[in-house]
Amino acid sequence: MQTLPTFPPAVTVDDAGRMRFEGLLCSALAEQYGTPAYVYSAPAIRANYQAMDQALGRRLTSPYEIFYAYKGNSCPAVCKVLHNAGAGAEVVSLGELHQALLLGVPPRRIVFNNVVKTDEELDYAIRAGIGLIVIDSESELEAIERIAGRLGRVAAVAFRVRPFVRAGFHKHVSTGHEETKFGFSAEALEDVARRAAACRHVRVRGLHTHIGSQNCDPDKLLEAADVVFNLTRRFREGFGFPVDLVDLGGGMGIQNEDLMRVAFDFDALARGVEERLTAAFAPSARPAIYFEPNRILVADASILLGRVVSLKQDVGKRFVGVDIGYSTFVRCMLYGAFHDLRNVDDPCPDHPVPCEVIGPLCESGDVLGANLPLPEPKVGDVVALLDAGAYGYAQASHYNSRPRPVEVLVDGGKTFVVRHRETLADVLGRFEIPAHLQGGYAGA
Q: Closer to ligand PLP at the Cβ: 296 or 357?
A: 296
Nearer to ligand PLP, 174 or 327 (CB): 174
Verify binding: residue 302, ligand PLP, rule CB under 6 A: no
Choice between 69 and 277, CB closer to ligand PLP: 69
Going by their DSSP bridges, the two strands 288-291 and 245-247 should be labelled as parallel
- Answer for which of 41, 213, 232, 327 binds ligand PLP (CB under 6 A) is 213
Using DSSP's 3-state secondary structure scheme, residue 108 falls into helix
CB-nearer residue toward ligand PLP: 27 or 215 = 215
Whole-angstrom Cα distance, residue 24 to residue 414?
9
8 Å CB contact between 86 and 49: yes
Radius of gyration of the chain (CA): 24
Distance CA 434, CA 354 (A): 51
State the number of binding residues for ligand PLP (CB under 6 A).
17
- Minimum distance, C-beta of residue 420 to ligand PLP, in the bound complex (Å): 25
| Residue 187 CB partners (closer than 8 Å, separation 6+) | none
Contact between 210 and ligand PLP per CB under 6 A: yes
Extended beta strands in 4-96, E state: 11-13, 19-21, 24-25, 37-41, 64-69, 88-91
- If the CB atoms of residues 69 and 289 are measured against ligand PLP, the closer one turns out to be 69
In 3D space, the residue among 208, 278, 306 whose CA is nearest the CA of residue 61 turns out to be 278
Phi, psi of 382 (to 5 degrees): -95, 135
Q: In the complex, what is the shortest distance from the CB of residue 250 to ligand PLP, in angstroms, rounded to a whole number? A: 3
Residue 218 is a binding residue for ligand PLP (CB under 6 A)? no
Residues 141-200 that bind ligand PLP (CB under 6 A): none
Contact flag: residue 390 with ligand PLP (CB under 6 A): yes
Contacts of 380 (CB under 8 A, 6+ apart): 307, 308
Cβ(216)–Cβ(167) below 8 Å: no
Active site residue 362: yes
Q: CB under 6 A: which stretch of 46-54, 97-105, 246-254, 277-285 binds ligand PLP?
A: 246-254
Q: Which residues pair with 372 in a beta bridge?
A: 355
The Cα 287–Cα 244 span in angstroms is 4
The binder of ligand PLP chosen from 131, 293, 369, 373 (CB under 6 A): 293
Residue among 72 and 218 whose Cβ is closer to ligand PLP: 72
The residue from 46, 109, 166, 295 that contacts ligand PLP (CB under 6 A) is 295
Segment contacting ligand PLP (CB under 6 A): 5-13, 190-198, 281-289, 293-301?
293-301
Choose, from 75, 79, 216, 362, the residue flagged as catalytic: 362
Alpha-carbon distance 69 to 64, whole Å? 16
Residues 6+ apart with CB under 8 A from 352: 1, 373, 374, 375
Query: Smallest gap, in angstroms, from Cβ of residue 51 to ligand PLP?
Result: 14
Task: In whole angstroms, give the CA distance from residue 256 to residue 136.
Answer: 30
Please state the φ and ψ torsions of residue 403, each to the nearest 5 degrees: -65, 150
Q: Which is nearer to ligand PLP, 160 or 201 (CB)?
A: 160
Binding map of ligand PLP across residues 105-134, x = CB under 6 A, - = no contact: --------x---------------------
Q: Which of residues 52-91 bind ligand PLP (CB under 6 A)?
A: 69, 71-72, 90
Q: How far is the CB of 296 from ligand PLP (least distance, A)?
A: 6
Binding mask 249-268 for ligand PLP (x = CB under 6 A): xxxx----------------
Contact status, residue 424 vs residue 404, Cβ threshold 8 Å: no
SS3 sequence of 148-160: HHHHCCCEEEEEE
Examine residue 294 and tell whether it contacts ligand PLP (CB under 6 A). yes
Nearest Cα residue to 372 out of 347, 351, 354, 345: 354
Residues at the interface with ligand PLP (CB under 6 A): 69, 71-72, 90, 113, 210, 213, 249-252, 292-296, 390
Question: Catalytic amino acids?
Answer: 362
